[in-house]
Amino acid sequence: MRIKITLSLYKPGIIDFNYQHQIQALIYGFLSRSNPDYSQWLHEQGYLYKKDKQFKLFVFSGITFHKPVKVIRSCGLNSSDKVSNSDGFWCKGSENEPFTCSFQIASPVNQFLHHLIDGIFREGNKITLGRQKMLISGIEILPSPLYNMGLRPLESPIFIKKPMPPGQKDIYLFPGDEGYETFLNQNLLHKYETLYNKSFIGGTLKFNFHTGKDKPVKHFTIFKKGLDGIVRYIHIKGTLQPFTVSGPEELIKIGLVCGFGQNNSMGCGYVEGYG
């Protein structure tokens, strides 16, 4: 299932560039309102693949702004706007003309969806995204994209990182790099086996990425506290290139509801249909 959440701002405000971990925190907050134990379990463990790999089995998009925003880079605003000097997307909202934006969430897990929706209604319509207070003004269930149409990441880059031996720098992979499609398919197969508790019997997917006028790469930073209590920075960099895909529909569906590529629960790999 795919859910769209619309947020409204009734006064000028600012949304941080690195908002992905803030949306993630918002999602876990909704889950916790409904079932704290499930939220904690999903955050700390999740669904295990062969006892050494974890999947959260949900994915969310980046933010879609419904009106133009102003990009602020350490230059501040005048005092009448009453917004602190900080980097981010400045949104001009007012009581007469609220600013709206939205993001989307998908998951194949009924338990996750139940607690998410229940938690949203328990929360009420007032939420905080990072340091910005906003109102939930809409919740909508979306149809799944058709398998035979074009797909594109919704401000949610497809992230593939090649595992390297200890002490060596990780390598980001992009469409056209050796092994890119292999890692994409392997990731989907592992999610399928985790979700259905059985191996997938069938072929793999064939991807055809397209170049376009839009920005091809997106990068952002998330902040994660380890078991030792130290907050570490995790840099994300992936492709926003649109693509078509062919092959077994079961694997395409896994990508649509769980995300394509890695780090889906951090805001990577959510796609929408186009064309």
Task: Provide the pLDDT for residue 84.
Answer: 45
Is the model's pLDDT at 49 over the cut of 60? yes
CATH topology (fold) of 150-274:
Alpha-Beta Plaits (3.30.70)
Rounded Cα gap, residues 105 and 83, in angstroms: 29
- Structure token digits, residue 120: 């949203």
pLDDT digits (tens, 9 = 90+) for 134-186: 999 999 999 999 877 899 999 999 999 988 888 888 889 999 999 999 999 99
Rounded Cα gap, residues 4 and 120, in angstroms: 12
Same CATH topology for 2-142 and 150-274: the answer is yes
CATH topology (fold) of 2-142:
Alpha-Beta Plaits (3.30.70)
Domain locations in the chain? 2-142, 150-274
DSSP, res 267: T
- Structure token digits, residue 211: 């170049």
Considering only 5-19, 77-91, 154-168, which range has the smallest mean pLDDT?
A: 77-91
Strands (E), the chain: 2-9, 13-15, 47-49, 53-55, 59-60, 64-65, 70-72, 88-91, 99-106, 126-129, 132-142, 150-153, 160-162, 171-173, 206-209, 217-225, 231-239, 243-246, 271-274
Task: Provide the pLDDT for residue 76.
Answer: 46
pTM comes to: 0.91
Are the C-beta atoms of residues 69 and 89 closer than 8 Å to each other?
yes
pLDDT digits (tens, 9 = 90+) for 96-118: 999 999 999 999 999 999 999 99
